[in-house]
Structure 1
Amino acid sequence: MSIELEQEDVSIFEDRLWHHKGWEARVIKNEDDDGWAVAMTQDGQAEPALVGPWTMGRDKKSPKPLDVSAFNTLVKTASEIIRRHEQHQAAMLHKTIEIEVRGLRVVVALDIEPDEENPTATLTATAADGSQLAKVRARPDQGLTRASAQRWADAGYPRASED
């Protein structure tokens, strides 16, 4: 009988390696100079979310050992970097603009579905009462500006031409 533990279930607390609650902090030799760096990697990720300088120890040659306070700060910082990246990605894939059409407020949204081979996009116009005025396929590289949204609405929400 074999018992398998999830990687996040195992905690490691060594001078240059901490692994705890889904995060790994690894102190590594800085390739650019004689100093040290720390890499923070979330479980399941191939690349670190954060790589930054690390403090030298008292002997000015070896790195300072990791400790609970430093680890917690590194987790907080790396988590914030991931959160900001996710927010940026979401903002790039979903854009909304509010315009006025014949005296009524209309929200125009461009939603992009990323796909390496066949990305798609949808352009939607929604009235202030929540009713959908139009929904058309759009080019995934189409931009959305107040002017382009207004032109689309003023033209009666036509389908985008397929090039």
Structure 2
Amino acid sequence: MTDLPLKTQEPRLWRSDGWTAQVIKNEDDDGWAVAMTPDGQSEPALVGPWTMGRDKKNPKPLDGSAFITLVKTAREFVRRSEQQLHATLHQSITVAHDAGRITVCLDITPDDDNPSALLSAKDELDELLAEVRVPPAFKLNRASALKWVEAGFAKPV
């Protein structure tokens, strides 16, 4: 790993606060884009359009306020992406049953070679009622949760 300067402030490259903003040629048209890359990452977390300069040919240079806004936007994008991934990997639904309210959870462990998922049920006191392995593609919804509960927590087919 090379040692990067702590702070760079060039017209097309700014590096500070754990982020690098780099103005790049937009491959889709004649315009420009800015790539926001967190320190230590090889791929940008966010790429967005960038403003043309006055000559309508070259990009507008980066400046301090633009960089601050870009960092804020990129951090928020990363935070929302992480929240969305968490919500996808850890789902729960509460259903009403004769035994009371039961919360059914699906926890997916992503893995390129061997992904897995665990379906579990807890009662209103957060006591574990059942737990079974299911395919990571298992669809948890109100109907599938209720069906599993009503089947006595038998492994879903």
- With structure 1 as the length reference, what TM-score do the two structures score? 0.88
- State how far apart, in whole Å, the 1-side matches of 2:70 and 2:138 are: 38
Match of 1:80 in 2: 76
Percent identity for Structure 1 against Structure 2: 56
Q: CA RMSD in A?
A: 1.8
Letter paired with 1:53: P
Q: Once the two structures are superposed, what CA deviation does each residue of 1:53-81 show, in whole Å capped at 9, x if it has no partner?
A: 21122233222111111001111111111
Output the CA distance in 2 between the equivalents of 1:48 and 1:112.
26
Q: Unaligned regions of 5+ residues in structure 2, if any?
A: none
In structure 2, give the amino acid aligned to 1:34.
D
What is the 5 A alignment of 1:13-28? Answer: 13-28=9-24
Identify the match of residue 52 of structure 2 among 52, 56, 76.
Answer: 56
Q: Deviations over 1:104-150 (max 9, x none)?
A: 11100011111111111111100011111111111111111111111
Amino acid of the structure 2 residue aligned with 1:97 = I
The count of residues paired between Structure 1 and Structure 2 equals 157
SS of structure 2 residue aligned to 1:110: strand
For residues 17-69 of structure 1, give each alpha carbon's deviation from its aligned partner in whole angstroms, at most 9, with x where no partner exists.
Answer: 00001100011122233322111111122221221221122233222111111
Q: Which amino acid is the alignment partner of residue 28 of structure 2?
A: D
- Taking the TM superposition and a 5 Å limit, the aligned residue runs for 1:25-44 are 25-44=21-40
**More moved, 120-129 vs 50-59:** 50-59
Unaligned segments of structure 1, at least 5 residues:
none
Q: TM-score, normalised by structure 2?
A: 0.91
Mapping for residues 139-154 of structure 1, pairs under 5 Å: 139-154=135-150
- The answer to whether the 8 A contact 2:148-2:156 is kept is no
Equivalent residues in 2 for 1:103-122 (5 A)?
103-122=99-118
Is 1:93 paired with 2:93?
no
